[in-house]
């Protein structure tokens, strides 16, 4: 019998959080009174995460563990969870418990009311620096403005998706995936549940600034090519400004020649400084353009190679309702 609900939990070095995460999710899902499964995706953890997950799996027949051959990243982990999900409603939630499991029943209510996607919208973010809050808010609004999609702001990957939405996402073969953006791209009826995001239960964030910047670039390049248009526009603007400056210098030289008989007096003092500034500015535009083009070409290269998003090194599940048997695929 297939479960009604599947909960996908990506895991990377979360040994301090796993027991509490499992306990809270189990408490919430059992309270629903319907069949469910918890799919923990071990994304190449180097601590005791896998051992702990296997131990939980031996005791809880509702738990399945998908183990990667190495660390492939958060988005591939979510993708793997969707590939293995069997439920009619699929919930995505991080293991760090910043997104509280207690919100899941509210999402299910919205799903029962006919919505295909129910995403969590953060009204408050506890335990995060002002810098991260500001940059996150700015990025969501910038991305929304750069695309033609209705991408919700202040919403992460914490959401419930219907079976048909899950199947639609599985049909997309992109390598550099930005799941929350793809959910908006596939459409369907969507709504939100507002909640206050908690502080991380234990451990450290797995998204330092470097990874956040890469994640932001993945989001932009996966959903829009407007940055290329912006750079082209900037190049045209700089070219026009350079032409205007050149014409002004020509006019000024003629003017000074007929008035002061010293056509180079102004251009010798100001001209080199302005020219130098323009040269550096244009060079900056060129380098930014090359960088953006390189990002898009790099992603085309990834698509052409057609490598899988992840490699599984074992799937563990308890086939006995009493928790006495483990099946490794």
Q: What is the pLDDT of residues 191-203, one digit of tens each?
A: 988 888 766 555 5
Q: How confident is the model at residue 188 (pLDDT cuts 50, 70, 90)?
A: confident
- For residue 325, what pLDDT is reported? 36
Please give the average per-residue pLDDT across 38-49, as a whole number.
Answer: 91
- Report how far Cα 287 is from the mean position of its chain's Cα atoms: 26
Q: For residues 106 and 38, is the Cβ–Cβ distance under 8 A?
A: no
Q: What is the mean pLDDT of the chain?
A: 77
Q: What pLDDT does residue 255 have?
A: 65
Structure-model confidence comparison of residues 69 and 293, the more confident one:
69
pLDDT value of residue 72 = 87
Name the residue with higher pLDDT: 39 or 293. Answer: 39
Q: 266: exposed, middle or buried (C-beta count within 10 Å: 0-12, 13-18, 19+)? A: middle
218 contact partners, CB below 8 Å, separation of at least 6: 75, 176, 177, 178
pLDDT category at 265 given cuts 50, 70, 90 is low
Report yes or no on whether pTM surpasses 0.85: no
In the sheet that 190-197 helps form, which strands lie side by side, from edge to edge? Answer: 190-197, 117-125, 155-162, 89-92, 5-11, 36-42, 63-68, 312-317, 327-328
Q: Quickly state the pLDDT bin for 328 (edges 50, 70, 90).
A: very low
pLDDT at 132 over 70: no
CA 298 remoteness from chain centre:
18
Percentage of residues in the chain with pLDDT exceeding 70? 61
Cβ neighbours for 155, distance < 8 A, ≥ 6 positions apart: 119, 120, 121, 122, 140, 180, 192
Give the 3-state secondary structure of residue 230: helix
Domain borders along the chain are 5-208+308-328, 226-305
Choose between 131 and 61: higher pLDDT.
Answer: 61
Q: Which of 261-265, 268-272, 301-305, 321-325 has the lowest mean pLDDT?
A: 321-325
Instruction: With a cut of 50, say whether residue 326 has pLDDT above it.
Output: no
pLDDT at residue 281 is higher than 70:
no
CATH 1.10.569.10 at 5-208+308-328, yes or no: no
């Amino acid at each position: 019998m297939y479960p009604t609900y599947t909960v996908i939990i990506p895991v990377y070095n979360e040994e301090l959080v796993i027991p509490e995460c499992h306990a809270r999710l189990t408490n919430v899902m059992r309270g629903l009174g319907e069949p469910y499964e918890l799919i923990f995706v071990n994304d190449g953890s180097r601590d005791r995460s896998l051992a702990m997950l296997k131990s939980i799996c031996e005791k809880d027949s509702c738990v399945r563990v998908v183990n990667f051959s190495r660390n492939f990243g958060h988005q591939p982990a979510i993708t793997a969870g969707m590939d293995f999900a069997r439920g009619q409603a699929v919930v995505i939630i991080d293991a760090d418990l910043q997104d509280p499991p207690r919100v899941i029943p509210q999402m299910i209510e919205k799903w029962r009311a006919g919505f295909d996607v129910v995403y969590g919208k953060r009204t408050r973010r506890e335990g995060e620096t002002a810098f991260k809050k500001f940059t996150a808010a700015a990025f969501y609004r910038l991305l929304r403005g750069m695309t033609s999609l209705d991408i919700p702001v202040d919403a992460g990957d914490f959401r419930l998706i219907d079976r048909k939405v899950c199947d639609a996402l599985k049909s997309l073969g992109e390598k550099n995936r930005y799941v929350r953006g793809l959910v908006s791209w596939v459409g369907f009826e969507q709504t939100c549940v507002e909640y206050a995001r908690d502080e991380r239960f234990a451990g450290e964030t797995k998204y330092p600034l470097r990874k956040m910047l890469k994640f932001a670039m993945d989001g932009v390049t996966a959903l829009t090519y407007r940055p290329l248009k912006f750079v082209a526009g900037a190049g045209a603007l700089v070219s026009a400004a350079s032409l205007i400056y050149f014409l002004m210098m020509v006019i000024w030289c003629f003017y000074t020649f007929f008035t002061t008989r010293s056509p180079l007096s102004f251009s010798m003092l100001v001209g080199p400084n302005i020219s130098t500034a323009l040269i550096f500015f244009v060079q900056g535009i060129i380098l930014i353009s090359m960088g953006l083009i390189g990002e898009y070409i790099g992603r085309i290269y990834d698509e052409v190679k057609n490598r899988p998003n992840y490699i599984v090194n074992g799937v563990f599940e308890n086939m006995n309702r009493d928790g006495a048997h483990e099946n490794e695929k």
